[in-house]
Amino acid sequence: MEDVERIYKQTGYTMTGNVIFYMSVAGMLVGTIGMLLSRNIIKKILSLGIVETSINTLYTGISSRRSIIPPIVNGDFSIAYADPVPQAVIITGIVISFALLCLSLVFAIIIYNKYHTMDIGTIESNFEREKE
């Protein structure tokens, strides 16, 4: 803990530095390119999950900029705690992304029962032919 105190007094940031922000942006890029290039519905949904996880990492990084001590106060207000507001944000975000994942899998089941394939090329040509 003395290292954390020393680095915080010198720079205002903890040891993780800016690496975590760059990694989360890289994770979002990987997820977006995965959504573009995959031909299976389940892989698209998994790539969306990668994007969501990177956002969670970003917010955890924001929250631990001041310190990495959990913000549970035992009566000692002098040491620096981690920031609790982004942690609240990210809990809501995790719940919402979980609900969206479940809903997208339900839609995948309905589509599979109707079109009997998970490949988007076949589904889209059937969809457009039905419309005429």
Partner 1 sequence: MIFLPVLGGIICLILKERRQLCAGLALLATIINGSFLPFYLFGKFDVSLGNWGELGIRLAMDDLAIPFILSTFLVMLAITLNSLRKNYDGFFYSLILIMYGTLNSIFLSRDLFNVFVTVELVSIISFILISYEKKGRQAWASLKYLLLSSLGLNFFLLGIGLVYMETGSFAMEGLNSVSSIASVLIFGGLAVKSGLFLFSMWLPDAHSNAPVEVSPILSGLVVKIDVYLSIRFVQYESFGWLKDEFVYIGIFSAIAGIIFAVNSKDAKRLLAYSTISQVGFMMVTCDKVSSWHGFSHAVFKTLLFLVAGNISTRLGTKKYKDWSGRITRIEYLFLLVGSLAISGFPLTSGCVTKEVIIHGACCPWLKVLMMLSSIGTAMVFSKFIFLKPSKEMGKLPIGTLLAYSILSITIMIHGIVGFKIYMSESFLMIMVGIGLYFLYRKFMRPLPVFFERIDNSLAVYLIMFLFSIGFVILST
| Site for partner 1, rule CB under 8 A | 25, 28, 32, 35-36, 41, 44-45, 48, 51-52, 55, 58-59, 62, 65, 85-86, 89, 92-93, 96-97, 99-100, 103-104, 107-108, 110-111, 113-115, 120, 123-124, 127-128, 130-131
**Nearest CB to partner 1, comparing residues 6 and 38:** 38
In the complex with partner 1, which residue's Cβ is closer, 4 or 53?
Answer: 53
Closer Cβ to partner 1, 1 or 129, answer by number: 129
Largest CA distance in the chain: 71
Distances (CA, A) of 111 to 22, 78, 106, 114, 126: 37, 57, 9, 5, 12
Residues 97, 95: Cα–Cα separation, whole Å: 6
State which residue, 25 or 79, has the beta carbon closest to partner 1: 25
> Minimum CB separation from partner 1 for residue 1, in Å?
25
- Decide if 58 contacts 87 (C-beta within 8 A): no
Q: How far apart are CA 40 and CA 104, in angstroms?
A: 13
